[in-house]
Amino acid sequence: MAANKVLKAQAREGVGKGAAREVRRQGRVPAVIYGDKKPPVTVSVEYKDALKFIYAGGFKSHVLDLDVDGTVHKVIPRDYQLDVVKDQPLHIDFLRVSGNARITVEVHVNFINEEQSPGLKRGGTLNIVRHTVEVSVPANAIPESITVDLSGSEIGDSIHISAVSLPKNVTPTITDRDFTIATLVAPSGLKSADAAEGETEAE
């Protein structure tokens, strides 16, 4: 397994809006580390580092090594606030994790073998219902993605979570129904032809 990415941080004094504004004036983003039955720790991270990590993708589904003045905390970002006008990070919440802890994360869905789908070859369109799936997973074994194999899929098919091979110890948080990941829909031309054919038969 690849090593966790390292994000540098500094401990900070003071809480509240005034203290947070002062941190931002220094070009840093206020943040807090919480969880694992330990008291919260207020920190700040360099603005450009926060921006890079957030917009790299998968920010809230990867465990990081948060280096706070030389002390490393294993964390996963749980939430962050962006300025609605400037789209800049205003605050980040980090959750401490231990190796044997189970956490809930959103994992990206990756579709493979599109060229082996008869329905797509006929001009069908893949209608993605869920680009991510929320799963419960060990903190030290978060998958990069969930893979959906489109081999053999036909127009009209629905791909449900039960048809997806999930990695070991990964379980969907939705357990009361077999929810849909994607559907294969007919192209508009084929729909029109089918509709016209149906009208002709009706006459």
What is residue 98's predicted lDDT score, i.e. its pLDDT?
Answer: 81
Return the domain boundaries, the chain. 5-97, 103-202
What is residue 199's predicted lDDT score, i.e. its pLDDT?
Answer: 52
The fourth-level CATH superfamily of domain 103-202 is Ribosomal protein L25, C-terminal domain (2.170.120.20)
pTM of the model: 0.73
3-state SS of the chain: helix, strand, coil percent to 5?
Answer: 25, 40, 35
What is residue 196's predicted lDDT score, i.e. its pLDDT?
Answer: 47
What is residue 86's predicted lDDT score, i.e. its pLDDT?
Answer: 79
What is residue 195's predicted lDDT score, i.e. its pLDDT?
Answer: 47
How far is 196 from 199, CA to CA, in rounded Å? 5
Task: Identify the CATH number of the domain defined by range 5-97.
Answer: 2.40.240.10
What is residue 201's predicted lDDT score, i.e. its pLDDT?
Answer: 52
How far is 87 from 135, CA to CA, in rounded Å? 28
Domain 5-97 and domain 103-202 have a common topology = no
Mean pLDDT of each 10-residue bin along the chain, 203 residues long? 82 82 91 90 93 88 92 92 84 88 91 95 95 92 92 96 92 95 85 50 50
Contact residues for 182 (Cβ-Cβ < 8 A; gap 6+): 109, 111, 126, 127, 128, 129, 130, 148, 158, 159
